[in-house]
A and B are shown apart, each in its own frame.
Chain A
Amino acid sequence: MRSVLVLSALILAGFALSFAVSEYTLRLLNMAVIAAVAVIGLNFAFGYAGLISLGHSAFVGLGAYGLAILTTKADWSPWLAAIPAVAGTGLAAAALGYPLLRLKGHYLALATLGLNVSFSIVASNWIELTGGTNGIAQIPGLTLAGYKLDGEQTFLWFGLAVLALLGLAALAIHASRLGRAMMAVRDDETAAAMTGIDVTGVSVTAFVLSAIYAAIAGCLFAAHVHFVSPDDFNYAHSITFLSMLIVGGEGSVAGAIVGAALLTFLPEWLRVLGEGYLAFFGLMMLAILVFLPTGIAGLLRRWRRPALPPQDTAAGLDGAVSR
Chain B
Amino acid sequence: MADLIQLLTNGLALGSVYALAAIGFVIVYSATGVVNFAAGQFVMLGTFAGVATLVNAGWPLPVGYAGALALMALFGLLFYAVVYLPLGRSPVVTIIIGTVAIGITLQNAALLTFGSWPFRLPSPVEGMMLEVAGAVIPVHAVAVVVATAVLIGLMWLLLNRTALGIAMRAVAQDAKTARLMGLRVNALLAFTWVLAAVLAGIAGLMLGPMWFADVNMGDPIALKAFAATIIGGFGSLPGAIAGGLFVGLAEVLGASYVSSAYKDLIAFGAMILFLLLRPQGVFGERIQDRG
Contacts and interface: CB of A to CB of B under 8 A. Distances in A.
B22 interface: no
A18 interface: no
Interface string B39-78: 0000000000000000000000000000000000000000
Chain B: number of interface residues, binned into ranges: 35 or more
Contacts of A290: 86-87, 98
A3 B269 CA distance: 42
A299 to B, nearest CB: 15
Given A242-B97, A289-B90, A121 B102 contact: no
A106 B291 contact: yes
Nearest to B38: A282
A285 interface: yes
Interface in A94-149: 99-100, 102-111, 113-115, 117-118, 121-122, 124-125
B265 A118 contact: yes
Contacts of B275: 100, 103, 107, 110-111, 114
A217 B269 CA distance: 27
Nearest to A322: B91
Given A279-B105, A282-B108, A121 B291 contact: no
Given A105-B290, A105-B291, A111-B275, A286 B35 contact: no
Contact of A118 (B93, B98, B268, B279): B268
A102 B223 CA distance: 22
A38 B101 CA distance: 20
A117 B262 CA distance: 11
Contact of B276 (A99, A113, A117, A293): A99
B264 interface: yes
Contacts, number: 140
A289 B98 contact: yes
A46 interface: yes
Interface stretch (B2-10, B145-153, B176-184, B226-234): B226-234
Given A118-B272, A275-B112, A290-B87, A107 B97 contact: no
Contacts of B262: 121, 125
Contact of B291 (A54, A99, A107): A107
A24 to B, nearest CB: 23
A246 interface: yes
Given A113-B226, A289-B98, A282 B103 contact: yes
Contacts of A118: 265, 268-269, 272
Contact of B234 (A46, A104, A107, A275): A107
A280 B259 CA distance: 40
B276 to A, nearest CB: 5
A206 interface: no
A21 interface: no
Given A107-B291, A109-B35, A276-B112, A246 B94 contact: yes
B100 A239 contact: yes
A243 interface: yes
B45 to A, nearest CB: 13
A297 interface: no
Interface in B122-151: none
A137 B107 CA distance: 31
A283 interface: yes
B159 interface: no
B101 A104 contact: no
A133 B239 CA distance: 34
A122 B105 CA distance: 29
Contact of B261 (A111, A124, A277, A282): A124
A321 interface: yes
B92 interface: yes
A176 B287 CA distance: 34
B104 interface: yes
A67 B261 CA distance: 25
The 9 closest A-B pairs by CB, nearest first: A105-B291, A282-B105, A285-B101, A282-B104, A279-B108, A125-B261, A278-B108, A282-B101, A290-B86
Interface of A: 46, 52, 54, 99-100, 102-111, 113-115, 117-118, 121-122, 124-125, 236, 239, 242-243, 246, 275-283, 285-286, 289-290, 293, 321-322
14 contacts: A46-B93, A100-B276, A103-B275, A113-B223, A113-B226, A115-B272, A118-B265, A243-B97, A276-B108, A276-B109, A277-B108, A278-B104, A278-B108, A290-B87
